[in-house]
Structure 1
Amino acid sequence: MDGSTQATLRRYRSLVDLTLTLARTTRRRDLLDAVHQHMGQLFVAPVTMLALHSPGGQWDCLTREGEHLHHKTLPAQADGLLERAWAGRLRCTNDLAAYTRQEGLVLRRLDRASLLPPTASWMGVPLGQPGDDVTGVLSVQSYRRGAFTPQDLELLEVFAAHLGVALENAALRERLECEAMTDELTGLGNRRRFILEGQRAMTRGPLSVALLDLQDFKRINDERGHSVGDAVLRAVAGLLRTCAQSGGEAFRLGGDEFALLLAGPVEDQWPRLRQLRAALAALPPDLAAEVNLGLVCLQPGETLGGLLDRADERMYQAKARGVFLDMPPRLLLPED
């Protein structure tokens, strides 16, 4: 067996190994990392790029050039290299400068500050099909003219087919996991997500938790109908989502019970809670609902369950007093 045949077999073994890695990898981010880490086994090329279509029609590009990893979003062009590769009009050019001059194209460099040479040889093949969850272009680039052979292009096309399937499967798995942690009615995270995010947040520093419920929500359903009750829940959920912006997240734990995870101690939460109370008071009359809230801060050695129990106790104290938020008098919200 001559050296050329042995080299070809090694490359195809590397392709099989990389395909198996893709099959075992379940997260899109991990897939992208695996591609950039292992593409060097298939191609003698210092640059690899994954350009994925974003929902807004842009290109979400992750590029490894040497030891540097760049992430950048590029606007779509009417007729650029990526658009041509996606449409099947361009697969490989071993003299990119001459090709772009001939075609009147303008090249875009992701890392404008890079001191590395410009791309001289370029290959790009499409990922996925129109309508798939994940679509884009897989590209390999070299600083040397004449770097790629027809066999290189064949390998890239075979690998792109496997990568496209792996990305589609990962996207489906992630979507199912997201749905399993999302409240269908309000779009907020559900109790399962609250527990997951709460446990993560407990390791990151000071943490406050607010527990909320709606007063007499059963009466709203009984007297005004479940469609009105659902509209009230969605309206409150929207206000809580806004309240949790910048260092927090809102959840529907079930029924008329909601929770907020808020970064920082209790004292840091007054401005957002004042805005929440004002927003609740400004709801249209047909969506109006009284809300009780219990707010506590994580204590040293406390579990998430213990934190929730204390928040629940404060919430019921607020309900018993007929106030929005139960706190010692010196800590009442401004204007109380």
Structure 2
Amino acid sequence: MQAPAGSSPEPQVGSCNSSVTSSSLPAANATSLSNLTDRFGRNESLARTEISVLGVIFVLAVLGNVLVLLALCKSRRKTSKMHLFIKHLSLTDLTVAVFQVLPQFIWDITYRFQGPDLLCRLVKHLQIFGMFASTYMMVIMSVDRYIAICHPLKTLQQRSYLMIIGTWVGSFIVSCPQSFIFSLREIEEGSGVYDCWASFIFPWGIQAYITWIALGVFAAPVLIVLVCYTCICYSIFKNVKYKTKVPSHTSFRNGLITSGVSNVNTISKAKMRTVKMTLVIVLAYIVCWAPFFTVQLWSVWDKSAPKDDSTDTAFTLTMLLGSLNSCCNPWIYMFFSGHLLSDIIHVFPCCHKITRKLKKEDSETSIKRHTLLTKIIKKL
């Protein structure tokens, strides 16, 4: 997946024109000067690795999220609010796969961006749009769990739809500056080599841009989620502590039967399971993207940051780690929602037949074991 502001085949944030020099620019660190048509070469072995990994990530992300969406659409169970959020989070992950991973995969193969200026601007817009949508869909899932646990009486289905629509629309609007920052331009004046690059005001433009992306896509969402889960943990702690103190025996009050436990704002197992699932999704996001944004911020704010091939490798590896986030969420859904895996199996008739055959064989084996055990007991 291309970084939010990547400008060349190596997905580093903060590409710039010839008047700006940054350690985050792979093209500025020419690794092969033997190319007579383009003296800004690249590390071909690293590029092949990136292409291979991106191809695998794209297939896994599309396959996993499509299966989850099919299972949710064909499920006969009553749709819950959490299913609604899972559906839209899967859609945002598909957006990341189609508009970020796939363009970057093609871009790495062609090395230089092949297309008109309009396509360049559109690709950059949709790339950051996918990141914003996926990130803030995760945030509103956490906010919804906070409301469900800490303010259960305020939980409304209509509010969930408004938050989801607001996330899609807001992400599209916030990513609009990409269309003005990036364009098809010469990577160096007079070089005759064109790529989809950005132009920043020297010297603070690239620092401001990368910091804004890091704050908007990573730092701010993580802070919101941490606040939500701090409140959730505190509420659960109070709930458990209060239930241990209140007697569970039945008592009469004003002629009505009351119970000590029923007066407590109990948290159901289903809610706890969805809280755990959302927390794991958030932790996976932090683990996948923290290295990438750390390296990007370090590259533009630390003047002593290295400007050699090792920097390009660090950028590429951290970007690939971030890309894994788009294909690991479906497996988290399946792990915490037991029926979702069975719903996915029922989508495919062939898998359904295999499952029934295995159940039949297990049943026959169980019967044989029971018969054999009965015979042994009789003999004894």
Which band: TM-score by shorter chain? under 0.3
TM-score, normalised relative to structure 1:
0.23
* Higher normalized helix content (fraction of residues): 2
TM-score, normalised relative to structure 2:
0.21
Higher RCO (CA < 8 A, seq sep 6+): 2
* Higher normalized strand content (fraction of residues): 1
